[in-house]
Amino acid sequence: MKRIASLAASIATLLVLSANAEEAKVVLVIHGGAAAERSKITPQMEALSRAGLEEAVRAGYAVYRKGGSGLDMVEAAIRRMEDNPVFNAGRGAVFTSAGRNELDSSIMDGRTLKAGAVAGVTIVKNPISAARAVMERSPHVLLVSEGANAFARENGLDIVDPAYFRTEERWKEHLELLEKEKQSAPKPGAPDASKNKSRSAGLSIPSTCEWSTVGAVALDIQGNLAAGTSTGGMSEKRWGRVGDSPIIGAGTYADNETCGVSSTGHGEFFIRYAVAHDIVSLMRYKKLSVQKAVDVVVQQKLKPAGGSGAVIALDRAGHAAASFNSEGLFRAFITADGRVTVKVFDR
Ligand code: ASP
């Protein structure tokens, strides 16, 4: 009799433990970009970013509670951040050197490995929804500039005047960066000052560059993973430059068998190192945990190569991971029971 009672007690404990584990499972993790330099982030900026992250993660969670798909969760969270001028995505995007806003985004379904992306769009209010439309309503994966704009229009997405994306803060920053570039242009006979700056494909990377791209990875009630990323790209980009954010395998990847990933940082490196897919491969073939996999890629591969930035990831058991070689990473996650955590500089 005693033994039966103790067995029943053990079973009850196990049930409570597994219910707790179920509740503690992370169902959505999002980021609002890597913070390159802590000293450049004002307390006000940090507070606005934290509030924006919390609002976005809750928007995605509301979808989870209604039984929505991982794709719906990712889209809902990213749309919120695209609409929030604090982030470098949608409204509030950085400017190209020609003074335009050119937006990139991608989304991937971990269940089917279907994906969609747009690059260089200029009139689509929510590029993440355009990326999803490419995935669901076209036979293609990536559409660019005018073609992508036309596709979004034909598919009834919200279309806005390009001026919608402009904020005064970003415009001011753009003018300052233009001025800095002019000042540092080599004068005839003088040593080339630009040699001291970080440059990639002719793109100067100002030291003030705060990435603030956005991304999300979700695990829905059915156990399906999805991931997405959205950005205005890098400040003062030229020549139709496209970064990693709309590149499947670099900025975004999701595979139900392993994890979902969204990246942020110096896109050229993330493309060359196929960052998002590399993380998935380390889990698949080397059987690394999600945290170990993101650390290997961000700390051991990108960092020595000079590729600054960060990733978030979520595995199919609801373990969230983040790794950054920048000073911080704006990020938030929410568990199945609705508890939100927001972090910036703490590892
Ligand atoms: N990765 C983006 C790009 O290179 C920038 C960012 O993450 O903020 O376009």
Q: pLDDT tens digits for the chain (347 residues)?
A: 566 666 666 665 555 556 677 779 999 999 999 987 888 889 999 999 999 999 999 999 999 999 999 999 999 999 999 999 999 999 999 999 999 999 999 999 999 999 999 999 999 999 999 999 999 999 999 999 999 999 999 999 999 999 999 999 999 999 999 998 888 876 666 554 443 333 333 333 333 345 799 999 999 999 999 999 999 999 999 999 999 999 999 999 999 999 999 999 999 999 999 999 999 999 999 999 999 999 999 999 999 999 999 999 999 999 999 999 999 999 999 999 999 999 999 88
* Cα(243) to centroid(ligand 1), Å: 6
| Residue 231 CA, ligand 1 centroid: distance in Å | 7
Residues 235/266, Cβ–Cβ less than 8 Å: no
Does 112 qualify as catalytic in the annotation? Answer: no
Cα–ligand 1 centroid distance for 10 (angstroms): 50
Q: Look up the pTM and report it.
A: 0.90
Instruction: Give, using CA atoms, the residue closest to atom 7 of ligand 1.
Output: 264
Can you tell me which atom of ligand 1 is nearest the CA of 212?
Answer: 8
Which residues does a 6 A CB cutoff place in the pocket of ligand 1?
A: 33, 88, 211, 213, 231, 233-234, 243-245, 264-265, 267
Cβ atoms of 63 and 73 within 8 Å: the answer is yes
Secondary structure, 3-state, 208-251: CCCCCCEEEEEECCCCCEEEEEEECCCCCCCCCCCCCCCCECCC
Residue owning the nearest CA to atom 9 of ligand 1: 233
Exposed / middle / buried, residue 110 (Cβ in 10 Å: 0-12, 13-18, 19+): buried
Mutate to test the pocket of ligand 1, among 81, 144, 245 (most ligand atoms within 8 A of CB): 245
Q: Which ligand 1 atom minimizes the distance to the CA of 309?
A: 7
Q: DSSP strand E in the chain: where? A: 26-35, 103-109, 115-121, 142-144, 199-200, 203-204, 214-219, 225-231, 252-254, 259-265, 309-315, 320-324, 328-335, 340-343
Query: Mind listing the domains of the chain with CATH numbers?
Result: 26-181+200-343 (3.60.20.30)
Check 96, 122, 213, 258 and give the catalytic one: 213
Distance of CA 98 to the CA centre of its chain: 25
User: Does residue 261 sit in helix, strand or coil?
Assistant: strand
CA of 14 to the centre of ligand 1 (A): 44
Nearest Cα residue to atom 8 of ligand 1? 211
Mutate to test the pocket of ligand 1, among 104, 235, 244 (most ligand atoms within 8 A of CB): 244
